[in-house]
Structures are given as structure tokens and as C-alpha cells.
Structure 1
Amino acid sequence: MTAGETSRGLLELTRPVNVIAASVLTFIGAFVAGGITDQPVAVGAAVAATGLAVGAGNAINDYFDREIDRINQPDRPIPRGAVSPRGALLFSIVLFAVAVALALVLPLLALAIAGINLIALVAYTELFKGLPGLGNALVAYLVGSTFLFGAAAVENVAPAAVLFLLSAIATLTREIIKDVEDVEGDREEGLNTLPIAIGERPALYVATALLAVGAIASPLPYLLLEDFGLAYLVVVGPAVAIMGYATYESFADPTAGQEHLKYGMFLAALAFIVGRAATIVPSGL
């Protein structure tokens, strides 16, 4: 492999789309908490630490999953030979170290969240991924906690708490559908994911029920908090509709369903931004 191919492989290990998405969620958490202009250094450190930690977690996940990926995703960097397992592990350690260094400048609560999340990222594949539902729940917590981390960086967690819950529910739904998609390779590797433990269709029913709970709860930021304007509802409505269709689609095609569910989640994240902006931008502008 050439240096260029290895560099591309290392970048792929981080899953750049996931890195960007998690970083944006951290930014949204800080934005909702009202700390973007008051504490820009803390916000920047939190966003960068999130991106690096997620990239590190994805890299170490590929390291532990290299045998499964030979079946499920043979084009990933390690199975195709672009990056060696040792190289992926060392790369992950470097990213984790830089993320920790950045987190050290943040308030104590943000530092605590970062510490818990770093441990969870490392433990996920080795300890929790093969346990029915628990691995999914851990990933859901990690995604949702990015909102809390951003808010904690500017020392105002309360407005982000409901965002954490809604994001965790949507992520848990998608993770279950992804496990349905990956059931062949997971079974080959001896994992006991939720679709393997209870069956693929029952697992999809669980995912559907979870999304229904999230859909019912989606108006709560507008109803319970003064931090979100009516624009939030205008944008979150279509987001919920997309996620609902994607979950329905997953019964026939889990690969397409989980991909389309991601689009709805991105739109829901936009709803948080638009809804919060509506309360802080003067109406006369």
C-alpha cells in the first residue's frame, strides 16, 4: 500500500461523516445552552475533542471488529489491507490522547462526561457490542451525550437534557436496525445482538416502538423549555415523518432504512438549531 492509500485508510477509520455529525451535535448543545459567543474557546475545545474522540472510537472499533468486517464490510481499511491492525490501534491512541488534552481545559462536569465517554468508547466493542440491546443502548447514550458535553462546556446543561433523551431514542432505533442489517456477520462471529437473540422482525418491532416514543416526545423541547421557538416544531415534524418512514422501510430493506433514518436525524438536529435561533434572533431583523 502507498502512503496515500494508508492516509485515506486512516481517514476512513474515523468515519468522517460520524465525526462531523458528533462535532455538530456538541456545537448544538453549546448553542442551545447559550454559550457560543460567551465562551468560544471552550466551545471550540469541546467540538474538537468530540470529533477526535469519535474518530478514535471508530478506529478502535474497526480494530476489534476486523474479523467481523471481513464478512460484513470487507472494503473497510483493515480488511482490505490499507491499514494494519497495529496501525489502527496506534492511530486510535493518538486521537484519544489529543482529545483528552483538549478536554482538560473544560469545566469539571464536561471533563467528567468526556472521561466516561472515553471509557465507554473503548469498552463498547470489547465488552458490550455482543450483548442484546446493551451495546445499542451504550451507543445511544454516547450520541445523545454529545449535546450534554457541549452544554456542560459552557456550564449550562439543563436546556440540553431533553435533546439528549430524544437523540438517544432515535440513535437506539437506528442501532437496532443496523444490527438487523449486520445479523449474518454478527452470527458468524458469535455475537448475541438483539436481532439474533429475539429474531429480526421482533427487533424491528422494538425499534418501531422506540421511535414512536420519540415521535410522541418530540414536541417536548417546545412545550417544556423557553429556549425553543415555534420554528422547532415546523422542522422537527418532517424529521419525525422521515424517521417513521425509514423505520417502516427497514422491515423490507434494513440497509436503506437505517440510511434514511440518518437523514431524519440530521433534520431533527437542524430543528434544534432553528428552534433555538428563533428565540434569540430579534423578530424585527
Structure 2
Amino acid sequence: MTAGETVRGGLELTRPVNSVAAGVLTFIGAFVAGGIGDAPLMVAAAVGATVFATAAGMAINDYFDREIDRINQPDRAIPRGAVSPRGALAFSVVLFALATALALLLPWLAIAIAVINLLALVAYTKLFKGLPGVGNAVVAYLGGSTFLFGAAAVGGNLETAFVLFLLAALSTLTREIIKDVEDVEGDREEGLNTLPIAIGERPALLVGTALLVVAVLASPVPFVLGDFGVAYLVVVVPANLVMLYAAYEGFEDPTASQEHLKYGMFLAALSFIVGRLALEVAVPIAVSL
């Protein structure tokens, strides 16, 4: 293997699109909490810690999954020989160290969230991935916690960030369950014990739908508390409708369902950005009047 192929393999281990996307979610959490302008260095540290931690988690999961990937994903970096298992492990340790160094610059609550997330990332493949529903819940928590992490990093409005966390985590959990229903035949052949295999496809979809309904019911809280105005509702209501339809669709077409649920999740995140932007504009206008 050439040096260029090794570098490319190392980059592949980090899943750069996913890692950067996680950093963007942390930024949104800080923005929604109202702390971007007051603590730009804290925001940068939080975003960097998220990107490095996510990349490290991806790399170490590939290290643990290397034997399975030789069969199911032979083109990945470790099975094809671009990166050695020891090299992947060392790379993940370096990335975790960078994430830790940046996280230690943040307030204590953000540090606490970072510690929990780092432990979950390391333990995911070995402890949680094979447990019905538990692996899904860990993935959902990690995705949603990026919003809380961003808010905690700037000491902003945690109430609003928590609703965003709840909406993101529960909708992600629903999507993970639907994806498992979509993959049930292949997972059964590989000996995996996912939630649909353990309790049945329809009961699993009912669980996912119930979780999503909880998220939808919680979504108006920022408006009720007065944190956001009508602009927030204008976007979050259609997002809720898209996600609820996607959950209903999952009983007939899991593939289309999880794709449509992803669009609804994007709209839901956008609604918080719109709500915050509207607030940023409204306050100066009110002061000038």
C-alpha cells in the first residue's frame, strides 16, 4: 500500500461527512441556545471536539467490526488492507485525545456530556450494538446529545436545547427501528438480534411510532415557554406532519419511510434555527421602538 492509499483509508475510517455533520449539529445547539456571539471560542472548541470524537468512534467501531467487515464490507479500509487494525486503533486513540483536549476547555456540564459520549462511542460495538433496541437507543442519544453539548458549551438556554435533543433523539430512534425492519432478513441471516427480530416487525414499528408521537407532543414547548414565536411553529408543524406520515408509512414501505423521516428531521432542526433567527431580528426591532 502506498502512503496515499493509507491516508485515504484513514480518512475513510472517520466517515468525514458524518463527523462534520455532527459538528454542524453542535453548532446549531449553541446557536439555538443563544451563545454564538458571546462565546465563539467555546463554540469552536465544542464543534472541534464533536468532529474528532465522532471520527474516533467511527474508526474504533471499524476496528472492532473488522472480522465481520471482511465478509460484509470487504471494501472498507481495514479489510482491503489500506489501514492495519493496529493502525486504526492507534488513529482512533489520537482522535479521542484531540476530542478530550478540546472538551476540557469547556464548562463542566459540557465536559460531563463529552465524557458520557466518549464512553458510549467506545462501548457501542462491544456492549450495546448486539442488544435489541439498546444499540438503536445509544445511536439516537449520541445524535441528539450534540445539540445539548453545543448549548452546554456556551452556557445557553438548555430548556430549548433539550426539546431539540428530545425531538432529534426520539425521531432518530424511530428511524433506526424502521431501518432495522427494512434490514430484518439480512440481519436474521447474520445472526443479529435487532428489535424487530426480538419482538416482531409490527410491534417494533408501534414502539417507534409511539416514541415519535412523544417527540411531536414535546415540540411546541419552546413556543409555549415564549422562547420562540410563531415563525418556529410555521416550520415545526409541517416537520411534525412529515415525520408522523413517515412513521405511518413504515408499516407498508420501510425504505421510503426512513427516507421521508430524515427529511422531517431536517425540517425540525431548521425550525429551531428559524425560531432563533426570528428572535434575533425581533429583539433589536422591539428595542428600537
TM-score by length of 2: 0.88
User: Is contact 1:163–1:221 with CA below 8 Å preserved after alignment?
Assistant: no
Q: How does 1:128-167 map to 2 (within 5 A)?
A: 128-156=128-156, 157-167=158-168
- Higher mean alpha-carbon deviation, 241-250 vs 135-144, is at 241-250
TM-score by length of 1: 0.89
1:119-174 C-alpha deviation (Å, 9 max, x unpaired): 01111111011111112112222112111111111123333122111111111111
1:73 & 1:256 partners in 2: Cα distance? 24
User: Is contact 2:164–2:269 with CA below 8 Å preserved after alignment?
Assistant: no
1:207-249 C-alpha deviation (Å, 9 max, x unpaired): 222222222332222223x322222111222322332343344
Alpha carbons of 1:10 and 1:182: their partners in 2 closer, same or farther (altered >3 Å)?
Answer: farther
The equivalent residue for 2:242 is 242
- Higher mean alpha-carbon deviation, 155-164 vs 121-130, is at 155-164
1:183 & 1:73 partners in 2: Cα distance? 18
Aligned to 2:275, what secondary structure does the other structure show?
helix
The equivalent residue for 2:31 is 31
User: Is contact 2:163–2:218 with CA below 8 Å preserved after alignment?
Assistant: no
1:234 & 1:129 partners in 2: Cα distance? 37
Q: How does 1:159-198 map to 2 (within 5 A)?
A: 159-198=160-199
The equivalent residue for 1:212 is 213
Runs of 4+ in structure 1 displaced over 6 angstroms? none
Question: Could you say what the CA RMSD is over the residues aligned between the two structures, in angstroms?
Answer: 2.3
The equivalent residue for 1:52 is 52
Q: How does 1:64-143 map to 2 (within 5 A)?
A: 64-70=64-70, 72-143=72-143
The equivalent residue for 1:40 is 40
The equivalent residue for 1:232 is 232
Aligned-residue offset at 1:66: 2.9
Alpha carbons of 1:6 and 1:91: their partners in 2 closer, same or farther (altered >3 Å)?
Answer: same
Q: Which runs of 5+ in 2 are unaligned?
A: none
The equivalent residue for 1:260 is 260
2:88 & 2:211 partners in 1: Cα distance? 34
User: Is contact 1:68–1:189 with CA below 8 Å preserved after alignment?
Assistant: no
* 2:176 counterpart letter in structure 1: E
1:70 & 1:53 partners in 2: Cα distance? 25
* 1:149 counterpart letter in structure 2: F
Q: Give identity over the alignment, percent.
A: 76
Alpha carbons of 1:184 and 1:85: their partners in 2 closer, same or farther (altered >3 Å)?
Answer: farther
Aligned to 1:18, what secondary structure does the other structure show?
helix
Aligned to 1:237, what secondary structure does the other structure show?
helix
Report the number of matched residues: 284
Aligned to 2:38, what secondary structure does the other structure show?
coil
User: Is contact 1:72–1:182 with CA below 8 Å preserved after alignment?
Assistant: no
- Higher mean alpha-carbon deviation, 75-84 vs 203-212, is at 75-84
Aligned-residue offset at 1:279: 0.9
1:230 & 1:17 partners in 2: Cα distance? 33
Aligned to 2:78, what secondary structure does the other structure show?
helix
2:154 & 2:240 partners in 1: Cα distance? 29
User: Is contact 1:174–1:258 with CA below 8 Å preserved after alignment?
Assistant: yes
Alpha carbons of 1:183 and 1:12: their partners in 2 closer, same or farther (altered >3 Å)?
Answer: farther
2:168 & 2:194 partners in 1: Cα distance? 21
Alpha carbons of 1:263 and 1:81: their partners in 2 closer, same or farther (altered >3 Å)?
Answer: farther
- Higher mean alpha-carbon deviation, 44-53 vs 72-81, is at 72-81
1:52-102 C-alpha deviation (Å, 9 max, x unpaired): 111111221222223444555444333444433333222211111100010
User: Is contact 2:235–2:268 with CA below 8 Å preserved after alignment?
Assistant: yes
User: Is contact 2:6–2:82 with CA below 8 Å preserved after alignment?
Assistant: yes
- Higher mean alpha-carbon deviation, 32-41 vs 201-210, is at 201-210
2:119 & 2:6 partners in 1: Cα distance? 27
Aligned-residue offset at 1:45: 0.2
1:18 & 1:277 partners in 2: Cα distance? 25
Matched, 1:201 2:206: no
- Higher mean alpha-carbon deviation, 126-135 vs 195-204, is at 195-204
